[in-house]
Structure 1
Amino acid sequence: MSLLLVWLMFRSMILGLLAGAAWWLIWGRKSQLQSVPVASLTAVGVGVALLADVVVRLMVGGTSAFQLPRPDDLARLLVDARFALPLLLGIVAVIILAFPLPIHASRGSASLARRTPLSFGQGWWFIGAIIIVGAVLTVTVAAGLASEPDEQGFWRLLVVDTGVGGGATTIYGWYYSRPALALVAVLAAVSVGALWLIARPGVGVDQVNDVQLRRLRTRNILAVASGALLVHLGGILTSLAGTASMRGGTATGNGGWVVFGTPFSALEPALSLGGVAVTALGYALLVVVLLTAIPARRGARALLA
């Protein structure tokens, strides 16, 4: 497998890994999970999600490079599920990160302050997640409204009509986006539920460490959910860049030739670059969460080993 092919397949993941590791080396080593069970489950949840993503990418686009057998039906299924997969993996990771639950403090030592899913997070963490959801919804609805049904009745076709001819290509239409929107709702609900489970029990006697741990777990859950949404959004933008690249031509009655493209063909470079950047940012968030599971005392040594 050539380095160029590896770069083309995993460039967003590689950029995200480098960005996440750089952030952790500069700012993140002070924010480490001190609870071994929490750190272990965090590593499992995020690690499994990233590993599954790599495996699927290899199965979809890399098996030919390795000359490995690949069932065609499975390949088609994975291609159709490529937009939903980051959301599914994000849901699984958030569920794992919700455990273990904080230990209930005794009544004599517990704080009586009312706690909500917002109690242990900074406002901009939640605002950032909401903005990402809004961006996903905006792009999804715009692409869905532009789609038309194909011969099978699936809303995944963009038709370009010039009056004297035209063409068609695939687009991220309702066929792909309706299941993804349902998963976005599930991811949001699971994230709120996980935040509630972490915030609900009373704060223990060691309030400083207890609050610090819950704040970091809250940040991690929001980062994993946001990372999954960003990888999903990046996949949409990359797909739309491919749609925008469609070009065609048709002959006119007077012997001329008309060249046509999609209505948003001028956005192809921006969509392509945006897809890579947004996806890389999503992976960076996941990598940062994964690195919080490295014990603080030997974190740098473990990373550089």
Structure 2
Amino acid sequence: MPVVLMLAPAVIGVVVAMLLIRLWPRAVPLLPRRVVALTTIGLGAALTLEVVVLASGSWPFQTIGHLAPLEWLSLIPGGWQFAAPLLAGLVAAGLQCVPAQAGPRRKVAQLAPRTAFSFAPARWVIGAGALTAAAILLALVGGMASSPDERGEYTMWMQDAGVGAVGRLIYGWAFSWPSLVLLLCLTGTTLVGLSLIARPPIGDDPTADMAARRSRSRTILVTVSGAVVLHIGAVLIFFAYTANLNTGVPVGDAIVPIYPPFAIFAPLCLGLGIGAVTVGLVLWFRLLIEQFAAARATAHESASHAH
């Protein structure tokens, strides 16, 4: 049962991604073989890392249990589980920044200026920006609510209990600063990738060229959005863990229960966190399946030209 619970978001992610592709298929334009290969490798590596995080039973899933082969992961200090989705997304997005091979170019130059967002779908630009802002806000909230532990690291939520203080781990500065750095790197990589896609001259077939650029721009933005929403999910689940603090202090012959003032939000944070992790996996799995379709289309086109 613990294994099923830990890997449930990944299983649901695969099923929902396949269902969405079945119900709302998206036409994937012909893309350069190198672009498809690197995108597939990056997404595959990112998904593998995220599944390892789930299966490790480590934060934020450590209360469920550990799989024997992955128990050692829980011994790694720091909040690597929060940074792992962002690092995976950074690798996947970075591989998508590789410029496509230059093909035949139009003899008539287009004078209209192109920016990094010329081919990027507006809704995904807004979505990725909003998710990044939400992740930064959560880091600031957790950091400002944290207190130093016995080593001086800001990892604890401390609450006055009258006769002393009680505390529990929280997503404090010690856990959030690596995520803030990775969010900055992820934003920079996204802008570089979108710029590299938009910058080259339009090809000899403008319709196909621009369709490919729009598809690549969307893929980068969805990759980044998936990474950030997975990160947010892990953070929210950990906030739920903090909010679930339930202890008591003796006062005379009675035990006075102590709860954090935000304890009422624990179920909400847990539900939103699990939902966010699942949504992030759906986004990545759908992209990966689309890359497989693009690879088949490219191979079919190459075979047609060969004959």
Superposition pairs of residues 210-289 of structure 1, within 5 angstroms:
210-253=209-252, 255-289=253-287
Return closer, same or farther for 1:107/1:284 CA change in 2, 3 Å cut-off: same
Question: Do the aligned partners of 2:93 and 2:223 also contact (CA within 8 Å) in 1?
Answer: yes
TM superposition score normalised by structure 2: 0.87
Relative to structure 1, the CA distance from residue 56 to residue 272 in structure 2 (aligned partners, 3 Å threshold; closer, same or farther) is: closer
Q: Is the 8 A contact 2:21 2:286 kept in 1?
A: yes
What is residue 131 of structure 2 aligned with on the other side?
132
Please report how far the alpha carbon of residue 48 of structure 1 lies from its aligned counterpart in structure 2 after TM superposition.
1.1
Aligned positions, number: 292
Give the superposition deviation at 1:65: 5.9
Q: TM-score, normalised by structure 1?
A: 0.88
1:99 & 1:297 partners in 2: Cα distance?
17
Residue of structure 2 equivalent to 1:9? 6
The CA deviation at 1:298 is: 6.2
Verify the 8 A CA contact 1:32 1:294 in the aligned structure 2. no
Task: Tell me, yes or no, if structure 1 residue 119 matches structure 2 residue 118.
Answer: yes
Q: 2:291 aligns with which of 271, 293, 301?
A: 293
Deviation at 1:75, TM superposition (A): 3.4
State the shift of 1:113 in Å: 2.2
Pick one of 22, 27, 35 that aligns with 1:30: 27
Moved more, 216-225 or 5-14: 5-14
Q: Deviations over 1:148-192 (max 9, x none)?
A: 000011100011213234411100000010111011000000010
C-alpha contact 1:198 1:218 (8 A) present in aligned 2:
yes
User: Structure 2 CA distance, aligned partners of 1:26 and 1:102?
Assistant: 33
Tell me whether 1:68 sits opposite 2:69 in the alignment: yes
Could you tell me which residue of structure 2 aligns to residue 162 of structure 1? 161
Q: What corresponds to 2:301 in structure 1?
A: none
Question: How much has 1:207 moved relative to structure 2?
Answer: 0.6
2:145: which partner in 1? Answer: 146
Deviation, 1:104, is: 6.3
- Report the AA paired with residue 271 of structure 1: C
Query: What CA distance in whole angstroms lies between the structure 2 residues aligned with 1:110 and 1:291?
Result: 36
* Alignment gaps of 5+ in structure 1: 300-305
Asked if the contact 2:42–2:93 (Cα under 8 Å) also holds between the matched residues in 1, the reply is yes
Segments of structure 2 that go 5 or more residues without pairing to the other structure are 298-307
Give the whole-Å Cα distance in 2 for the aligned partners of 1:162 and 1:110. 72
Relative to structure 2, which stretch is displaced further, 103-112 or 266-275? 103-112
Aligned to 2:302: none
Q: What does 1:191-202 align with in structure 2 at a 5 Å threshold? A: 191-202=190-201
Q: CA deviation at 1:6?
A: 2.6
Contact 1:42 1:96 in 2 (8 A): yes
Report Cα offsets for 1:108-151 as digits up to 9, x if no partner.
14433211111002221111111101211221111111100000
- Contact preservation (8 Å) 2:106, 2:203: no
Question: What secondary structure sits across from 2:98 in the alignment?
Answer: coil
Residue of 42, 45, 50 corresponding to 1:45: 42
The amino acid of 1:46's aligned partner reads L
Q: Secondary structure of the residue that 1:127 maps to in structure 2?
A: helix
CA contact (8 A) 2:55 2:70 kept: no
Residue 126 of structure 1 contacts residue 222 of structure 1 at CA under 8 Å; is this kept in 2?
yes
Query: How many percent of aligned residue pairs carry the same amino acid?
Result: 33
Q: Per the alignment, do residues 202 and 78 of structure 1 end up closer, same or farther by CA in structure 2, a change over 3 Å counting?
A: farther
Of 122-131 and 4-13, deviating more is 4-13
Deviation at 1:66, TM superposition (A): 5.3
Cα distance change of structure 1 residues 125 and 140 upon mapping to structure 2, 3 Å threshold: same
Q: Which has the higher contact order (CA 8 A, sep 6+)?
A: 1
Q: Secondary structure at the match of 1:84?
A: helix
Match of 2:304 in 1: none
Greater Cα offset, 11-20 or 151-160 = 11-20
What is the DSSP-based 3-state SS (H/G/I as helix, E as strand, rest coil) of the residue aligned with 1:28?
Answer: coil
**In structure 2, C-alpha distance between the alignment counterparts of 1:86 and 1:241, rounded to whole Å:** 19
Asked if 2 retains the 8 angstrom alpha-carbon contact of 1:148 and 1:155, the reply is yes
User: In structure 1, what is the Cα distance between the partners aligned to 2:18 and 2:189?
Assistant: 27
Q: Which amino acid aligns with 1:273?
A: G
